[in-house]
Chains A and B, each alone.
Chain A
Amino acid sequence: MHDREFSDAELVAFLDGEAEFAPVAEITAALARDPALQQRLDALAIDRAALRRSFAMVEPEPGVMPDLAIAPVGARAPIWHLATAASLALMIGVGAGAWMAQPEPPGWAEYVAAYQALYSEATLAHVAPDDMTQQVELARVAAAIGKDIALAQLQTVPEAHYKRAQVLSFDGRPLVQLAFTTPAGTPIALCIIRSDSPDAPAPQMTRMEGLSAARWLRDGYDYLLIGGTDSDMVSRMANRFVSMNL
Chain B
Amino acid sequence: MKLWPHADPRAEISAGLPAVFPRIWRYALTLTGARDRADDLAQTVCLRAMEKAEQFEPGSKLDRWLFRITHNIWVNELRKEAVRRGGGLVAVEEAEIADPRQNPEQDQIGRELRQSVLRLPETQRQTVMLVYIEGYSYRDAAEILDIPIGTVMSRLATARATLGVRFRDQEVPKHAR
Interface positions of A (Cβ within 8 A of B): 7-13, 15-18, 20-21, 41-55, 57-61, 64-66, 68-69, 71, 73-74, 76, 79-80, 82-84, 86-87, 89-91, 94-95, 98-99
Contacts and interface: CB of A to CB of B under 8 A. Distances in A.
B105 interface: no
Given A46-B164, A50-B109, A58-B97, A90 B43 contact: yes
B25 to A, nearest CB: 4
B147 interface: no
Contacts of B63: none
A45 B164 contact: yes
A52 B46 contact: no
A91 B113 CA distance: 33
A107 B27 CA distance: 33
Interface bin, chain B: 35 or more
Given A48-B177, A95-B77, A65 B167 contact: no
Interface of B: 8, 10-11, 14, 17-18, 21-22, 25-26, 29, 35, 38-44, 46-47, 50-51, 54, 76-78, 81, 97, 99, 102, 107, 109-111, 113-114, 117, 129, 131-133, 135, 137-138, 149-150, 153-154, 156-158, 160-161, 163-165, 167, 172-177
A11 B132 contact: no
Contact of A12 (B10, B51, B110, B160): B160
Q: Is the interface of B mostly helix, strand, loop or mixed?
A: helix
A84 B51 CA distance: 15
Contacts of B18: 65, 68
Contacts of A46: 132, 160, 163-164, 167, 174
B44 A13 contact: no
Contacts of B46: 65-66, 68, 82
Contacts, number: 173
Contacts of B149: 21
Nearest to B13: A68
B163 A57 contact: no
18 contacts: A8-B160, A12-B153, A15-B177, A16-B131, A16-B177, A41-B176, A45-B176, A46-B160, A51-B133, A52-B133, A55-B26, A55-B114, A55-B129, A86-B43, A87-B40, A90-B43, A95-B44, A99-B77
A48 B132 contact: yes
Q: Is the interface of A mostly helix, strand, loop or mixed?
A: helix
Contacts of A12: 153, 156-157, 160
Contacts of A79: 47, 50-51
Nearest to B11: A73
A49 B158 CA distance: 19
A122 B78 CA distance: 31
Contacts of A59: 22, 25-26, 99
Contacts of A7: 157
Contacts of A86: 39-40, 43
B76 A64 contact: no
A50 B99 contact: no
A106 to B, nearest CB: 18
A38 to B, nearest CB: 10
Given A42-B164, A60-B39, A99-B77, 9 more contacts: A12-B157, A12-B160, A45-B174, A46-B167, A47-B175, A50-B174, A80-B47, A83-B43, A87-B43
